[in-house]
Amino acid sequence: MTESKTVTESPSDPFNVDFWHKRWEENRIGFHKSEINPHLLRQIEKMTGQSLTAEPIRDSAQFLENSKKTWFVPLCGKTMDIPYLLSQGFRVFGLEASTLAIEALDEEHSLSLIYNDETKLFTGADGRLQIYTGDFFTCPIEKFGPFDYVWDRGSFIAVEYSFRKNYIEVMQRALRNPDGSCKFLNNLVKKSIRSGSRI
């Protein structure tokens, strides 16, 4: 896949919420994978400093320690990666344009999500999972962060090329740590984003 190829349709709407609604309504979701992303499994140890497998954590102390860390998963759909990260103890903040995708995720994994119309948030029973439904660029991301890690399964390349700088700026606001860096992982690159850096 080249850098110039995107899945959005309108250059005036960088996240193209209507487009994603239509894809889910028509069940045109060939991008969805019915397994944990192998790239995430390969790289999660480098990201977290822990030796983690595809199996749920049995160590309650490690589970509790991981619950202090939050992963941001933009354009999350109904990815298997969310229940996986939860099974490792992590907190997860997802962002998805289509409520159909979130409802499917909830049904398939029995997450007991509750929707709050005022905040546009779906929240799991234990509070470790939150999913914002709407546009990436209008989401008040600072209210929900800062996040410790970001797992970008493809949202960066799904954004119109001319808006990718804006995408990075949103990430920098949402994920900035005291030293100005964050850990960013996607299917194309893995980098620490620092002020003024580029993906």
Statement: residue 119 has pLDDT above 60:
yes
Confidence at residue 95, expressed as pLDDT on a 0 to 100 scale: 93
pLDDT per position as a tens digit, 125-137: 999 999 999 888 8
Whether residue 91 lies inside any domain: the answer is yes
Query: Using CA atoms, how far apart are residues 32 and 136, in angstroms rounded to an integer?
Result: 19
Residue 99 is encoded by which pair of tokens? 């409520």
Is residue 176 helix, strand or coil?
Answer: coil
pLDDT for the residue 159? 76
What does the block give as tokens for 155?
């949202």
* Strand extents, DSSP E, the chain: 70-74, 91-96, 114-116, 121-123, 129-133, 149-152, 183-186, 190-192
**Within-domain flag for 4:** no
- What's the number of domains the chain is made of? 1
111 or 135, higher pLDDT = 111
pLDDT over 60 at 12, yes or no: no
* Tokens encoding 79: 């990815």
131 closest CA partner among 150, 142, 144:
144
For residue 11, is it within any domain?
A: no
* Domain-embedded: residue 7: no
Residue 169: domain span: 17-53+67-192
On whether residue 10 sits in a domain, the answer given is no
Each residue's pLDDT tens digit, 49-105: 888 888 998 788 999 999 999 999 998 988 999 999 999 999 999 999 889 999 999
Residue 60 lies in a domain: no
Residues 120/134, Cβ–Cβ less than 8 Å: yes
**Selection from 43-47, 57-61, 74-78, 117-121 with the highest mean pLDDT:** 117-121
> How far is residue 70 from each of residues 6, 107, 145, 153, measured CA to CA in Å?
28, 23, 9, 16
Beta bridge partners of 151: 185
CATH number at residue 42: 3.40.50.150
The pLDDT of residue 32:
64
Strand partners for 91: 70
For residue 58, give every residue at least 6 positions away whose Cβ sits within 8 Å of its Cβ, in sequence order, or none: none
Whether residue 198 lies inside any domain: the answer is: no
Task: Answer yes or no: is 104 within a domain.
Answer: yes
Q: What are phi and psi of 137, to 5 degrees?
A: -80, -15
